[in-house]
């Protein structure tokens, strides 16, 4: 579950900081991170297939602890392989075991639910349509082992237009769990309009949705002048949080850490809202908040060479 904010508001100085009511590490990511750190504390090492979470700081920490990132199973010769919270195609488990690897599976239970619901839909004769990014590891996990005739992936209404619904009159719609479902409502409706029969699976991660709803509430707060969203540069759910905030508060900024902050963002700013993606550890949020408190009143911190 997303982290609850116990009304974290700091008014010690001339600037007010207010966190969203839900933010940061979800349960799946927190468990994955703790699992690998526990293995390291036991003196074990290994490799993680892809980034454990989409956060560069966490990835760097885990490398230092003896768990480097592997881009494919072929790179892993022996030892331990960790499957991340995003999940993997089922065949990867078989391949890893056949090669004698020790598998540590940190796949989010919610992602496993989507795998199972998709399997049941296909067995019932429905065509699966995944709304998401075909290159995202979660979507690859769902689709790689499937017959290409059994599914399609759509991110835009144009993608929907390329699906042959005459061949696939009955479909089931699945969302990549980290998407902002409201942003892709037009894609879902296009599928429903084109297919003879369409039904939706409830596959938006509840923690992601809670973070998104809390971001909307934060952006709608009239007291808040600007918002800082903290998260990995390649984190889809963090980017969606920033987009949600930006739509209501144009002065919304996406940062990975304190080095990305700029003094001019906080000019004439009385209150700053803070939220964070599901792959953002608490320490990073606290670091950014400390930098904002130092930066906003005085403007003494140097601006970075480049920001997202």
Q: Any idea where the domains of the chain sit in the sequence?
A: 3-26+207-298, 27-108, 111-200
The pLDDT of residue 42: 95
Give Cα 247 distance to the centre of its chain. 19
CATH number of 111-200: 3.40.50.1220, 3.40.1010.20, 3.40.1390.10, 3.40.640.10? 3.40.1010.20
Q: Does domain 3-26+207-298 have CATH number 3.40.1010.20?
A: yes
Residue 279: the pLDDT is 84
Task: Quote the strand ranges of 77-225, DSSP E.
Answer: 80-83, 102-105, 127-131, 151-154, 170-175, 197-200
Phi, psi of 297 (to 5 degrees): -70, -30
- Residue 224: what pLDDT? 95
CB 15 within 8 A of CB 296: yes
CATH architecture of structural domain 27-108: 3-Layer(aba) Sandwich (3.40)
Which residues does the annotation mark as catalytic? 138
Q: Which residues contact 252 (CB under 8 A, 6 or more apart)?
A: 219, 226, 227, 228, 229, 242, 245, 246
Helix (H, G, I), strand (E, B) or coil at 276: strand
HSE, side-chain direction, 13 A CA sphere, residue 42: 9
Q: Which of the four pLDDT bands, split at 50, 70 and 90, describes residue 296?
A: low
Instruction: Tell me: pLDDT of 77 over 60.
Output: yes
Please give the Cα distance from 167 to 90 (Å, whole number): 27
pLDDT at residue 301 tops 50 = no
Strands 226-230 and 252-255, bridge-based pairing: parallel
The per-residue pLDDT for range 116-172, each reduced to its tens digit, is 999 999 999 999 999 999 999 999 999 999 999 999 999 999 999 999 999 999 999
Cα–Cα distance for residue pair 157/151, rounded to 1 Å: 16
Q: Is it the case that residue 7 has pLDDT exceeding 60? A: no
3-26+207-298 and 111-200 agree in CATH topology:
yes
Torsion of CA 188, 130, 30, 291, to 10 degrees: -60
Judged by phi (left if over 0) then psi (alpha if -120 to 50, else beta), residue 8 lies in: beta
pLDDT at 8: 42
Q: What's the pLDDT tens digit per position in 176-233?
A: 987 767 778 999 999 999 999 999 998 767 788 889 999 999 999 999 999 999 998 8
From the number of C-beta atoms within 10 Å of its C-beta (0-12, 13-18, 19+), residue 254 rates as buried
pLDDT of residue 92: 96
DSSP states along 71-90: SSGGG--SSEEEE-TT---H
What is the pLDDT, as a whole number, of residue 119? 97
Does residue 287 sit in helix, strand or coil? helix
pLDDT > 80? residue 294: yes
| pLDDT tens-digit series, residues 8-51 | 444 445 688 999 999 988 888 888 999 999 999 999 999 999 88
Residues 266-275 have a mean pLDDT of 91
Work out the pLDDT band at 91, boundaries 50, 70, 90: very high
Specify the pTM.
Answer: 0.78
Q: Is the pLDDT of residue 299 over 50?
A: no
The two three-digit tokens of residue 251, written as one number: 């002065």
Q: What is the pLDDT of residue 40?
A: 96
- The whole-number pLDDT of residue 208 equals 82
Query: Which whole number is the average pLDDT over 106-111?
Result: 90
Residue 278's pLDDT is 86
Coil/strand/helix, residue 134: coil
Which long-range contacts (C-beta less than 8 Å, at least 24 apart) are formed by 148-153? 150/122, 151/118, 151/122, 151/127, 152/127, 152/128, 153/129
Between strands 102-105 and 80-83, the pairing is parallel
pLDDT at 297: 53
């Amino acid at each position: 579950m997303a982290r609850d904010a116990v009304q974290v508001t700091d008014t010690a100085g001339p600037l007010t900081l207010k966190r969203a009511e839900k933010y940061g590490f979800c349960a799946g990511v927190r468990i994955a991170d703790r699992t690998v750190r526990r293995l390291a504390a036991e003196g074990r090492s290994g490799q993680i297939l892809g980034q454990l979470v989409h956060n560069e700081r966490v990835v760097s920490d885990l490398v230092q602890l003896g768990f480097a990132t592997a881009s494919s199973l072929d790179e892993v010769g022996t030892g331990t392989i960790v499957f991340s919270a995003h999940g993997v195609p089922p065949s990867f488990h078989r391949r890893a075991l056949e090669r004698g690897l020790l598998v540590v599976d940190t796949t989010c239970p919610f992602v496993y639910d989507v795998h199972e619901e998709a399997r049941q839909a296909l067995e019932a004769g429905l065509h699966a349509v995944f709304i998401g990014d075909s290159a995202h590891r979660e979507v690859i996990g769902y689709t790689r082992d499937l017959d290409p005739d059994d599914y399609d992936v759509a991110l835009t209404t144009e993608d929907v237009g390329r699906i042959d619904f005459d061949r696939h009159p009955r479909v089931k719609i699945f969302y990549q769990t980290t998407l902002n479902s409201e942003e892709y409502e037009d894609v879902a409706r296009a599928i429903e309009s084109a297919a003879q029969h369409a039904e939706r699976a409830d596959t938006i991660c509840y923690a992601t949705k809670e973070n998104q709803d809390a971001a909307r509430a934060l952006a709608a707060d009239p007291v808040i002048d600007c918002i800082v969203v903290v998260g990995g540069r390649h984190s889809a759910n963090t980017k969606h949080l920033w987009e949600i905030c930006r739509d209501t508060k144009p002065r919304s900024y996406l940062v990975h850490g304190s080095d990305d902050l700029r003094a001019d963002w906080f000019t004439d700013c009385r209150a700053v809202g803070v939220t964070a993606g599901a792959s953002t550890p608490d320490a990073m949020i606290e670091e950014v908040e400390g930098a904002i408190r130092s930066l906003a009143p005085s403007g003494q911190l140097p601006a970075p060479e480049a920001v997202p």
